[in-house]
Structure 1
Amino acid sequence: MKLLRIILLTVPFLFAFRKEVSAQSIPSLNQGGTQQESYFTTLPYELVKGKIVITVTVNGKARKFILDTGAPLSITESLYDELHPATLGNVEIADQSGKKDSIAVVRVPAVEIGGVTFSDVPAIVAKNAKILFECFGVDGFIGSNLLRNSIVQFDDRNKQVTLTNDASKLSLSKKKSMPLELTPGQSNPFIKVYLKKGKQTVSDNILFDSGADGFYEISMNSYKLFAEKSTVIDSVVKSFGSYTGGLYGTSIAQENYMMKIPEFVVAKMKFTNAISRTTYSKESRIGSKVLNYGKATLDYKDKLFYFEPYGGVTVADLSEKVWPIQPALGNDKMIVGIVWDQSLAGKINAGDEILSYDDLDYSKMSVCEMIVTERKSEKEKAMLVLKDVKTGAEKRVEIEKK
């Protein structure tokens, strides 16, 4: 097996893992629970490249974990070596690029989050995610199998998350709720969203994935279904390449699509002109970017989802211009993963090394610096210095948002 070798990096860069476990020798990851019968705790989080990073206590030490509702509880190999936890068996796990492998599942004695202790929860030992853990400075993921008996509220405006066993303490209105479905193996949360254009409406059952830092990624299956049977998708751009990766290495080069969705509805919130890209995961997903617009509450206990728009604003226009390429990290170098604008054919190739992207000099950066550095620019144009993948020659190409 390889370490992670290629990472999807959009502008702003996206690095999202998608994990699904299929039990082989253990019945479920939904085991363990809290030591406290009643609890309510609010803790701050740090947003790092769209990742929600919280501080928890494991084995008496404060540690940083990514709060990822699209994953099970996961720990690093180094934390596994420190804890020597009991092994429950092995499971097959698929990363977001679709690659699979069998990895160990262990029982973590205790994880304390804001004074609430979760005991004997199964965790996967993410042996091939070392680059992710090191670059983000974390010891693992806090996932949905640990959260499955709690109510979890994300408040991005105040950069805090609340955990409780009692939804009444959050002043929620069930009239504003919608059903939340949980997967049987690890309690991944799914909600139904609607794509609309004029009188046409379709629904998509999607993963609420706080570990993904984008907005809405549409599964290839859903995209093909919607494209064939409805007209709810606009401005489709097709390209070919490989721009995703995961725990087990590079995904193969495949067809990819970028599109505009005229209306995208989550609960009572309507988003217009949303840009979406396809994913080869089995399901579509919504990421942490949606938290910019309101409080999101996942009531795992009663299987309800709430979204409370900030300021009572129920419509958000997501119109934006996009860059014509998607950078990626391949073989420890920044490369062109996808070329969306076909007018650049012959000027830019998928696989060209990006030596610099305007003021960012990737040729002098470490892998972790490439991953966590955000490119913040209001400019409509950028100058790329590239090393041609075919000839090795250095070239300069100006690109423009469209």
Structure 2
Amino acid sequence: MKKLLLYISILLLPVAAKAQGSIVSKHDTVRFELVQNKIIIPATLDGRATRFIIDTGGRNLITGDSAEYHNVEVTARQLISDVNSGSASMFSARAKELQLGPGIHLEAVPMLVAPPNNFFRELGVAGLLGSEAFSKVCLTIDKRAGHIVMSYPYRPRGLPKDDAMDIPPHKHWHPYIPIRIGGQEIHMLFDTGMDGFLNLTGSDFRKLADNPFLSIDNEGYGFLNVGIGGIDAAQPEKIELVRVAGMSFAGKCFENVVATSQKLGGNSIIGIGLLDYGRLVLDYPRAKIYFLPYEAGPTDLGEVTRIWNVKIMPIADHFEITAVFGDLGVELGDRVWAIGEIQLEGAELSELYINRLLGKCTGDICQITVGVDKDNLRVVTIRKL
């Protein structure tokens, strides 16, 4: 069963590329709002105020209703692949002008056009800005300060040049960063669109199979993301819940990192959680990256990277179990009717809403109500792993 849904742009793994528009300004600082761990900045699109999510691992994207409101020209179609190896044809568009803050102007900005969906509506955004939007800018993201600094044509002053790391070339300017795990180095996509800290592909998991710093904590099945091609419940993927005893990036060490490993259509991902521990500088024009930790010494992530033993996501007009770890008395595809005392029937179909409800659960357990219909309901206790 496949449903054509789009929730976050880490699911978009592109097939085709386009050139980025010109930048006519020099420097600017833009304050951002952090909503449900998404970086949202104000912008002006073709003369009208709006907001976008900054998604370093995604593509420039605008919803169809926002494209119509801002009079963005819709052009040809592109074939787009997603995280579950599904695909769909999407329209392309080109915005005449995109202004970020008072100074940075982008012209002839290429974008993909996505169907309207609750994820973007709830966040109040027109879409996403990927790394391709900043290909001529040095982008500094400081989560603690709550702002992004865009520098053109030079990098910010005071950066330790000897600490610069190369960003491998990519047609959409996606930043792949070197992560060291027990003597092995793997380039992973830094993706502000992915919640959490670490997600390993099956291929990288196999590369690390003999690494003493990696161990399997649990196993499950299903899907952790719903791609633009939907999911096929008849062919669930195996998921490993792994623990990385130690990993490092730019000299900063992280310990006891809980991650998931599943067959994905791209590379392993370092998510927005990295920004909790340092300032990141993406020097796109010179293909360099800097990470400036807020604190020295190792950081234990054993508690902050834990996940629930089920994944609940909106599918069609309701919520379903899309992944399960262990034997819980629930099945992949079971409908979820309630989380705690909160009924889900008629609720806004948003993964953000589910995350908020689970965040209100006390301690490491929560009760959910599942069943094929209202006459066959049962209460199941779920836990954090």
Amino acid at match of 2:4: L
SS at structure 1 position matched to 2:378: strand
Instruction: Report the equivalent of 2:199.
Output: 217
Q: 1:240 aligns with which of 221, 236, 245?
A: 221
Q: 1:292 aligns with which of 245, 267, 276?
A: 276
Q: 1:328 aligns with which of 293, 310, 313?
A: 313
Q: 1:357 aligns with which of 300, 320, 339?
A: 339
Between 137-146 and 347-356, the greater mean CA deviation after superposition: 347-356
Q: What is the root-mean-square deviation in Å for CA atoms of aligned residues?
A: 2.5
Q: Which string of whole-angstrom CA distances, capped at 9 and with x for unpartnered residues, describes residues 303-347 of structure 1?
A: 11111111x3231100125432222222332332222123x3xx2
CA distance in 1, matches of 2:15, 2:261: 23
Q: Which string of whole-angstrom CA distances, capped at 9 and with x for unpartnered residues, describes residues 168-217 of structure 1?
A: 43421112221112312x21111111112xxxx22211111111112111
Q: 1:144 aligns with which of 126, 131, 138?
A: 131
Instruction: Report the equivalent of 1:3.
Output: 4
CA distance in 1, matches of 2:39, 2:173: 19
Percent identity between matched residues is 23
Instruction: Report the equivalent of 1:257.
Output: 240
Is 1:96 aligned to 2:83, yes or no? Answer: yes
Question: How much has 1:393 moved relative to structure 2?
Answer: 1.9
Q: For residues 53-68 of structure 1, what are the structure 2 equivalents within 5 Å?
A: 53-68=40-55
Distance 1:55 1:101, change over 3 A: same
CA distance in 2, matches of 1:138, 1:372: 19
Q: Which string of whole-angstrom CA distances, capped at 9 and with x for unpartnered residues, describes residues 135-172 of structure 1?
A: 32211111111101111111111211111114443421
Amino acid at match of 1:269: K
Q: 2:325 aligns with which of 323, 337, 340?
A: 340
Q: For residues 3-402 of structure 1, what are the structure 2 equivalents within 5 Å?
A: 3-4=4-5, 17-23=10-16, 28-36=17-25, 39-86=26-73, 89-115=76-102, 116-126=104-114, 128=115, 130-184=117-171, 186-196=172-182, 201-227=183-209, 229-251=210-232, 252-279=235-262, 280-310=264-294, 312-320=295-303, 321-342=306-327, 344=328, 347-363=329-345, 365-368=347-350, 370=353, 373=356, 375-377=358-360, 379-389=362-372, 393-402=376-385
Question: How much has 1:261 moved relative to structure 2?
Answer: 0.6
Say if 1:334 and 1:370, in contact at 8 Å, map to a contact too.
no
Amino acid at match of 1:109: K
CA distance in 2, matches of 1:283, 1:144: 16
- Structure 2 unaligned regions, length at least 5: none
Say if 2:97 and 2:106, in contact at 8 Å, map to a contact too.
yes
Distance 1:323 1:132, change over 3 A: closer
Distance 1:61 1:382, change over 3 A: same
The count of residues paired between Structure 1 and Structure 2 equals 377
- Structure 1 unaligned regions, length at least 5: 8-14
Say if 2:94 and 2:110, in contact at 8 Å, map to a contact too.
yes
Say if 2:3 and 2:315, in contact at 8 Å, map to a contact too.
no
